Structure 1
Amino acid sequence: MTQRYVINASVSPKGSLETLSQREVQQLSEAGNGSTYTLFRQCALAILNTGARIDNAKTILEAYDDFEVRIHQQDRGVRLELLNAPADAFVDGEMIASTREMLFSALRDIVYTESELDSPRIDLGSSQGITDYVFHLLRNARTLRPGVEPNMVVCWGGHSISSEEYKYSKRVGHELGLRNLNICTGCGPGVMKGPMKGATIAHAKQRIVGGRYLGLTEPGIIAAEAPNPIVNELVILPDIEKRLEAFVRVGHGIIIFPGGVGTAEEFLYLLGILLHPDNRDLPFPVILTGPESAAPYLRQLREFVGATLGEEAQELYQVIIDDPAEVARQMAEGLKAVKQFRRERNDAFHFNWLLKIEEGFQHPFDPTHENMASLQLTRDVPPHILAANLRRAFSGIVAGNVKDKGIRRIEQYGRYEIHGAPAIMKPLDQLLQAFVEQHRMKLPGGRPYEPCYRVVT
């Protein structure tokens, strides 16, 4: 990233967050140089870099190290003064509408997250308290739509995918859109963009006004996966665990496309929840899919699940290869079962309250070298706990690959070490090696991937 174009600009919100309290402005002021300002600056810079093919947070932050955001409270509302901002976010000096919308969504979420932490009703020490916190964050973002029948399909997959895999994800999104289904993704490029792009065309064909393209992210990863411009609802959750819970609480079914360690992390989180005994009778359609060229990847992922978590985990999802229409048909059928189940049990359509998520899945995992080395990856724990620990291992690799804090830890202390039983470590090592060989760790065309981990048996 040797050349850059910057601009100084002033921008005000449209439709939301017109005012802040004096305390909130003080928290966000550069003069305080506090964590709130630092967090918002990082998220704002990522949003202003929407469309840039850079998947390294450290690179973006260093390239725009003189970028500043100044928050002004005035009679007419909030105004942001941007100094040395990426010029690509503007057209003829005016910020692109979708960028402005997402910029103030970030401000809304970060301000609310900080203010809610001081609320006496927030109890982050219990599972129910954490779920309630996620609910309030989503409600404040106006994400929850009471009374709307189940139609939100979560799509997970990699940002580092081939052109064929990207086009396939668009075809699936198109088939979903033709069936009046909405899309939720991690909001970045690749598979996080493809289904949304396909659905927008299908919604236009069906004359659907108000199609929803919901993007859920978190501060540690937004710089590496800046929101794509199709996202019309952006929510920034405080950490990866609350982001993952938001996916399974607001989504009614999940489609998983080819990806890398981030996708594997999400998949294992989901399997860990669905393997819990309290969730066995709860309908939650899950489909793994990809083009014919991705069949070996899908087969290897299935073999990994079988080798580590067993046949019970394999029965929680179906695999459909190279058939977008069938994927959409099966998902639509699965959503009918979700609708019936929630009606019978008087559960909300807009938030999956009945889904049991243990507290161990909800607390943030800090991928320090010590925590990564001490993960219990053996068959001595129940399958849903093993899935959670495997998810944490993949989360650490994601941090070491693309998150600023993780990258700096690897630079300082060397590679993470992942220890476990040979029966778990061997298939894990094989899967990770396949990700490297298939260029699923970084965007194709970049520098050769250097592993941030070492698997130890």
Structure 2
Amino acid sequence: MNTDIAEVIIRPEGSLQILSYQEANQLSDATQSGLNEILRQCALAVLNTGSNEDNMLTLLEKYQDFDIMVSVKGRGVQLIIKNAPRHAFVDNQLIVGLKEHLYAVIRDLVYARNDVLDSGQFNLLRSHGITNAIFHIARNAQLLKANTTPNIVVCWGGHSVSGEEYKYSKHLGYELGLRNLDICTGCGPGVMKGPMKGAMLGHGKQRYQHGRYIGITEPGIIAAEAPNAFVTELCIMPDIEKRLEAFVRLGHGIVIFPGGAGTMEELLYLISILLHPENQDIPMPVILTGNEASREYFDAIMEFISETLGAKACELFEVIIEHPRDVATKMKFAMETVRQDRKASSDAYYFNWRLTLELDQQQPFIPTHENMANLDLHKDQPAYKLASQLRKAFSGIVAGNVKAEGLREIEQHGPFRISGDADIMHAMDKLLQKFVDQKRMKLDASDYNPCYTIVHQE
């Protein structure tokens, strides 16, 4: 139990100064219909930035007396925070960057609930309705910048990586920054932090005054990937599917570093989109990259994709090992291709409306034992649909590793059972074992206990 800072009162700034009484009550309502529990979890994760903890249940147990309440007082709003981690403060003052992230949490939770999810204005049972909802949340968070040419590079990769892999991600970020390219990541530690840190130095050397360091997360994963200190534009999407779609709608190119099950989930999600027949002609540059020591990792990834989804899926991206300058140069040149395509199609530079996603790729996948057991992991379907099903399998593994609801499922019912075609199961088992051997599943992977069982059907 940690009670370092007994109580602190913070007065939010900007639009949060004028929260309504109803919104304040929602944020303080601890019932299932209120927002207090999700606010408490997200706020604790933000204030715990920089720790080596990626288990939400452990974090909540450690700070079980942590609490946050919102009240309207006279001319403004105040946050009452109790028993917060001391490392979030300097001389008893909350670090400014963490304060900004905390404000972003409140802004997005209130807006997503009242103006999107419960508003009745968006048909969340239709694909276009979900995309519109994502657009509105991103716009409210001021992520959409008009009159700017394509230059956002989305960087995916793990929070549990080696020191050398982190250094490589930082070097590549530096090269991207020297070319005035902006960075968008899952906002956490590891190779979500490295590219931002490197790009900040590159932007500084070029006297580039408009550098952007965008972090996109969601409540279920924020504890495992608490926003790092370099994120200046934070957005909390309601769920992992909306988070993933936001990446591909906002980004103009994607770089994928080494990671674990979460990175594999992201890659399979991307493959499921790029293999879709209606997306064949839309440029989306994708490069998998890392230092020389990560070559074995990428070999395993490519082998898995080849065995499960075929050669066409492998042709969607390029693998470049140990050449960060080449990766950055290719991304810079690719931005002009993306710009020309958006211009020719009259699509917005700041949001990729043309990508076709099916409802199955967009609706939240709840990783229960039943849902995991019922995944359609068979090859008698289009490759893009199989990729989407595989994505869900890895999403369930991520939940079982680090998300509160997934951890509870595993505690109550044991490991998830994943079954399908024998060759797919063999390929998945082999890849996951590689992740375990390389200690990529969790930050504390020394005694990793798998949250899944691969069922081999002959």
TM-score of the superposition, structure 2-length normalised? 0.97
Identify the residue that residue 279 of structure 1 maps to in structure 2: 279
SS of corresponding position for 1:199: helix
Amino acid at match of 1:251: G
Structure 2 counterparts to residues 400-439 of structure 1, below 5 A: 400-439=400-439
Does the CA contact (< 8 Å) of 2:410 and 2:416 recur in 1? yes
How far did residue 208 of structure 1 move?
Answer: 1.5
- The answer to whether the aligner puts 1:96 opposite 2:98 as a matched pair is no
SS of corresponding position for 2:381: coil
How far did residue 34 of structure 1 move?
Answer: 4.5
Q: How far apart are the structure 2 equivalents of 1:66 and 1:133? A: 35
SS of corresponding position for 1:216: strand
Q: How far apart are the structure 2 equivalents of 1:453 and 1:145? A: 42
- Give CA-to-partner distance per residue, 1:226-259, whole Å, 9 cap, x none: 1101100110000000000000000001000000
Does the CA contact (< 8 Å) of 2:153 and 2:255 recur in 1? yes
- The answer to whether the aligner puts 1:5 opposite 2:18 as a matched pair is no
Q: How far apart are the structure 2 equivalents of 1:447 and 1:332? A: 39
Identify the residue that residue 134 of structure 1 maps to in structure 2: 134
- Give CA-to-partner distance per residue, 1:263-298, whole Å, 9 cap, x none: 000000000000000000100000000001101111
How far did residue 447 of structure 1 move?
Answer: 4.1
Q: How far apart are the structure 1 equivalents of 2:356 and 2:152? A: 20
- The answer to whether the aligner puts 1:193 opposite 2:189 as a matched pair is no
Identify the residue that residue 144 of structure 2 maps to in structure 1: 144
Q: How far apart are the structure 2 equivalents of 1:247 and 1:275? A: 17
Q: How far apart are the structure 2 equivalents of 1:21 and 1:86? A: 28
Amino acid at match of 2:349: F
Q: How far apart are the structure 1 equivalents of 2:363 and 2:30? A: 32
- The answer to whether the aligner puts 1:154 opposite 2:157 as a matched pair is no
Does the CA contact (< 8 Å) of 1:30 and 1:69 recur in 2? no
Amino acid at match of 1:334: A
Q: How far apart are the structure 1 equivalents of 2:453 and 2:34? A: 32
Greater mean deviation of Cα atoms: 23-32 or 303-312: 23-32
- Give CA-to-partner distance per residue, 1:35-69, whole Å, 9 cap, x none: 41111111000000011110111111111111111
Amino acid at match of 1:183: I
SS of corresponding position for 1:381: coil
Does the CA contact (< 8 Å) of 1:46 and 1:226 recur in 2? yes
Identify the residue that residue 115 of structure 1 maps to in structure 2: 114
Q: How far apart are the structure 2 equivalents of 1:30 and 1:447? A: 39
SS of corresponding position for 2:54: coil
Identify the residue that residue 180 of structure 1 maps to in structure 2: 180
Amino acid at match of 2:123: D
SS of corresponding position for 1:81: strand
How far did residue 75 of structure 1 move?
Answer: 3.1
Q: How far apart are the structure 1 equivalents of 2:74 and 2:15? A: 16
Identify the residue that residue 69 of structure 1 maps to in structure 2: 68
Amino acid at match of 1:196: M
Identify the residue that residue 292 of structure 1 maps to in structure 2: 292
Identify the residue that residue 231 of structure 1 maps to in structure 2: 231
Does the CA contact (< 8 Å) of 1:184 and 1:213 recur in 2? yes
Greater mean deviation of Cα atoms: 300-309 or 114-123: 114-123
1:275–1:105 distance in 2 versus 1, CA, 3 Å = same
Q: How far apart are the structure 2 equivalents of 1:14 and 1:179? A: 34
Does the CA contact (< 8 Å) of 1:305 and 1:314 recur in 2? yes
Q: How far apart are the structure 1 equivalents of 2:100 and 2:170? A: 24
How far did residue 16 of structure 1 move?
Answer: 3.7
Amino acid at match of 2:156: W
1:151–1:198 distance in 2 versus 1, CA, 3 Å = same
SS of corresponding position for 2:176: helix
Q: How far apart are the structure 1 equivalents of 2:57 and 2:393? A: 21
RMSD: 1.2
Identify the residue that residue 345 of structure 1 maps to in structure 2: 345
Amino acid at match of 2:235: V
Q: How far apart are the structure 1 equivalents of 2:320 and 2:129? A: 37
SS of corresponding position for 1:102: helix
Does the CA contact (< 8 Å) of 1:14 and 1:101 recur in 2? no
Does the CA contact (< 8 Å) of 2:2 and 2:85 recur in 1? no
How far did residue 135 of structure 1 move?
Answer: 0.3
Q: How far apart are the structure 1 equivalents of 2:55 and 2:45? A: 11
1:240–1:299 distance in 2 versus 1, CA, 3 Å = same
How far did residue 333 of structure 1 move?
Answer: 1.3
SS of corresponding position for 1:160: coil
How far did residue 30 of structure 1 move?
Answer: 4.4
Structure 1: state its 5+ residue gaps: none
Greater mean deviation of Cα atoms: 32-41 or 370-379: 32-41
Amino acid at match of 2:345: R
Identify the residue that residue 20 of structure 1 maps to in structure 2: 19
Amino acid at match of 2:325: A
Structure 2: state its 5+ residue gaps: none
- Give CA-to-partner distance per residue, 1:170-210, whole Å, 9 cap, x none: 00000000000000000000011000000011111111223
* Count of residues paired in the alignment: 455
Q: How far apart are the structure 2 equivalents of 1:218 and 1:336? A: 31
SS of corresponding position for 2:417: strand
Does the CA contact (< 8 Å) of 2:3 and 2:84 recur in 1? no
Q: How far apart are the structure 2 equivalents of 1:161 and 1:120? A: 42
Does the CA contact (< 8 Å) of 2:418 and 2:452 recur in 1? yes
Identify the residue that residue 440 of structure 1 maps to in structure 2: 440
1:66–1:34 distance in 2 versus 1, CA, 3 Å = farther
How far did residue 6 of structure 1 move?
Answer: 3.1
Does the CA contact (< 8 Å) of 2:151 and 2:182 recur in 1? yes
SS of corresponding position for 2:158: coil
Does the CA contact (< 8 Å) of 1:17 and 1:108 recur in 2? yes
Does the CA contact (< 8 Å) of 1:28 and 1:34 recur in 2? no
Q: How far apart are the structure 2 equivalents of 1:16 and 1:229? A: 22
How far did residue 74 of structure 1 move?
Answer: 2.3
SS of corresponding position for 2:17: coil
Q: How far apart are the structure 1 equivalents of 2:337 and 2:191? A: 26
Calculate percent identity across the aligned residue pairs: 55
Does the CA contact (< 8 Å) of 1:71 and 1:78 recur in 2? yes
Greater mean deviation of Cα atoms: 53-62 or 33-42: 33-42
How far did residue 14 of structure 1 move?
Answer: 2.8
Does the CA contact (< 8 Å) of 2:166 and 2:191 recur in 1? yes
How far did residue 88 of structure 1 move?
Answer: 1.0
Identify the residue that residue 356 of structure 2 maps to in structure 1: 356
Identify the residue that residue 395 of structure 1 maps to in structure 2: 395
TM-score of the superposition, structure 1-length normalised? 0.98
Does the CA contact (< 8 Å) of 1:174 and 1:200 recur in 2? yes
Amino acid at match of 2:311: E
Identify the residue that residue 87 of structure 1 maps to in structure 2: 86
Identify the residue that residue 367 of structure 2 maps to in structure 1: 367
